[in-house]
Structure 1
Amino acid sequence: MINLDKQDLLKQLSQQDYEQWCHDLMIIKRVVTEITSFKKFRDIFDSREYYYFPCYQQDRSRFRYGEVGRLYDDLRDLANDFFYAISVVRNLDRYYPLEYYPLHLRVFIECVERYALTRTAYDPTDISPYFADRLNDCAFEMYEQMRLLENKTALKRAKELTSRQRRSTEEYIDQLILHYSRLIAVRVDFGYSENADTSYELISEHRDVLLRYLREKHAGDAQVGYVWKLEYGLKKGYHLHMMIFLDGSRVQESVSHGKIIANHWIEVITEGEGVAFNCNAVMQNYQRNGIGRVDYHNAAKIRDLKFACQYLTKYDEYIELVHYGYQINQCCDDPNQKPVYSELKRVFGKAKLPSYIPHLGRPRSK
């Protein structure tokens, strides 16, 4: 189920405010992830300590999305982020358009509301022993909730799915390198314009048309493989990430191919309602550039390519959450609510590997 009013509010946010909103979601997830990681719960707050609200609005570089799974070095840093997370909960809920919250966010909100922490005016630099106990009790309840069997099972499933997809993608790349001494890796992201009427069925249909175009029409038979991932963004809806592999003996560069594929999505497949981003056009901006030309003998480049593909293998909780409406709430008379009736199927895939033909004669040369 999608709350259209909240979705409209979210779309009206500036890009900077939207990034801040997403950043705050990540802070909460990191806090709960850290608490869940305790082998044995220990108090986080001490009335003798001084805490503060981190100024993430002024300096978001202090936290990066990739740090969600990285543990805190100091309990005070965890406590400071806990305070920050409490302070932004109401703002998060104001714009959150789905009926269901991701596990970490749901547990945090339920526990914070149960202890009425969002209704309390307090100074983190001077907390009483009583308030420190309340905060620790709230954190302990989060710890207990996350350790329930159903929640542990959900976390294990997400972790195993990510691990399995990552491993299969790395093996897939290794097999491609065995077949082709040089690959041209092209990363393109596909989506829809803000006013387009989209659905899971529509993007699935468009994805199949795109894959057929890559197999049959783009650059002759230069396309040798691809990995794709379907996601649901709270602001931009359904979108598709894809890594496309071209035979480096048939094509020489990547930027123009990314542009051609992106334009085909926009102009032909979606008939002007699509948007696309050619990552290869800005690949010089990536700290670890794994796209573009990848030679079989360049081990560092192959590692960077696998790193670049990691995002495509991560479990996406939002695309499952939005489809819970299909499973539970099929009837809805509220015009401000949009039920989702489509059944969620595959959200990750790879092309089949070509048949292996051993190369006879002299070994490869660099």
Structure 2
Amino acid sequence: MMNEFVQKLFELCHGTKFLSACNERRKRSKLNFKTASEYINKLPRYFGRLLVIRIDLHLPQDNKEMQVDELKRRFGTFLQKIRRKRSLNLKGYIWKLEYGFHQSFHYHCLFFLDGRKHAQDIKLAQMLGDIWDQIIEGKHCYFNCNHPKYLKRYQQPITGRLEPYDTEKYDLLLNQVIRYFCKKDQFIVHKSIANKKRFETARLPYVKKRLGRPRTQTA
């Protein structure tokens, strides 16, 4: 029986359907990274100094079986609420919806706030998490990636204040955070999200061609 199982597994893993699915995931991963890279590279041209917040949002422990359509509806409400919050000057975002064996559905999010008007990224990340808690009807259903305990794993900070001329930090953001967001989906893509949008960036505003001198480095 074991030999038959191994043989069948080998056939499935080398079958057309499986190889096609793997190829599709690779293409999607590359496309998502390309989309996010173009978006990230345009941000400093539009907004200058930014404050970068990374936060992961998940379901309450007692409601891990929430249907994905309901989760997406609540996430849409979350985005709408922070867009309209007067104390927040949101300039953009990137999000990825994933399914994990232990966490069930969860979101990885990057938010870009106006760096001229905001400075306390740790508290702002907590505030965003608290808003999510209210919407998802849970308690501490988020992970604050701006917290110093989390940032210790990196040699250089990749969240917080981001200057438009800081190419090194932009490169770290792309190759450490965005690449993680755009990785090929782990485990099995849950059938309920197989044909739904799982990755998105905010739209950049339409800006007329500017006249005058280009932006210079500022302290």
TM-score of the aligned structures, taking structure 2 as reference length: 0.85
Instruction: Choose which of 137, 140, 144 in structure 2 pairs with 1:278.
Output: 144
Instruction: Choose which of 172, 196, 202 in structure 2 pairs with 1:345.
Output: 196
Instruction: Choose which of 145, 164, 171 in structure 2 pairs with 1:296.
Output: 164
Structure 1, unpaired ranges of 5+: 1-111, 118-137, 327-341
2:80 paired residue number = 212
Do the aligned partners of 1:192 and 1:273 also contact (CA within 8 Å) in 2? Answer: no
Cα deviation 1:173-206 (Å, max 9, x = unaligned): 0111211221111001111222125221221111
Structure-2 separation of matches of 1:218 and 1:147: 54
Q: Specify whether residues 256 and 346 from structure 1 end up closer, same or farther in structure 2 by C-alpha distance, changes over 3 A only.
A: same
Greater strand share, structure number: 2
Give runs of ≥4 in structure 1 deviating > 6 Å: none
Structure-2 separation of matches of 1:343 and 1:149: 19
Residues 235-246 of structure 1 mapped to structure 2, 5 A cutoff: 235-246=102-113
Deviation (angstroms), 1:295:
1.2
Deviation (angstroms), 1:171:
0.4
Do the aligned partners of 2:145 and 2:151 also contact (CA within 8 Å) in 1? Answer: no
Alignment RMSD (CA, Å)? 2.5
Tell me, what secondary structure is at the counterpart of 1:244?
Answer: strand
Do the aligned partners of 2:94 and 2:111 also contact (CA within 8 Å) in 1? Answer: yes
Residues 158-173 of structure 1 mapped to structure 2, 5 A cutoff: 158-173=25-40
Tell me, what secondary structure is at the counterpart of 1:354?
Answer: coil
Deviation (angstroms), 1:250:
2.1
Identity of aligned residues (%): 25
Structure-2 separation of matches of 1:230 and 1:279: 17
Q: Specify whether residues 218 and 347 from structure 1 end up closer, same or farther in structure 2 by C-alpha distance, changes over 3 A only.
A: farther
Tell me, what secondary structure is at the counterpart of 2:165?
Answer: coil
Residues 186-201 of structure 1 mapped to structure 2, 5 A cutoff: 186-196=53-63, 197-201=65-69
Do the aligned partners of 1:253 and 1:293 also contact (CA within 8 Å) in 2? Answer: no
2:42 paired residue number = 175
Letter matched to residue 232 of structure 1: Y
1:23 paired residue number = none
Do the aligned partners of 1:231 and 1:319 also contact (CA within 8 Å) in 2? Answer: no
2:127 paired residue number = 260
Do the aligned partners of 2:59 and 2:138 also contact (CA within 8 Å) in 1? Answer: no
Structure 2, unpaired ranges of 5+: none
TM-score of the aligned structures, taking structure 1 as reference length: 0.53
1:362 paired residue number = 213
Count of residues in correspondence between the two structures: 212
Letter matched to residue 306 of structure 1: L
Letter matched to residue 347 of structure 1: R
Deviation (angstroms), 1:116:
7.4
Cα deviation 1:341-363 (Å, max 9, x = unaligned): x8852111111111124443333
Q: Specify whether residues 158 and 243 from structure 1 end up closer, same or farther in structure 2 by C-alpha distance, changes over 3 A only.
A: same
Letter matched to residue 206 of structure 1: R
1:226 paired residue number = 93
Q: Which structure ranks higher in relative contact order (CA pairs < 8 Å, sequence separation ≥ 6)?
A: 2
Greater helix share, structure number: 1
1:48 paired residue number = none
Deviation (angstroms), 1:284:
3.1
**Quick check: which has more Rg, 1 or 2?**
1
Deviation (angstroms), 1:237:
1.2
Deviation (angstroms), 1:302:
0.3
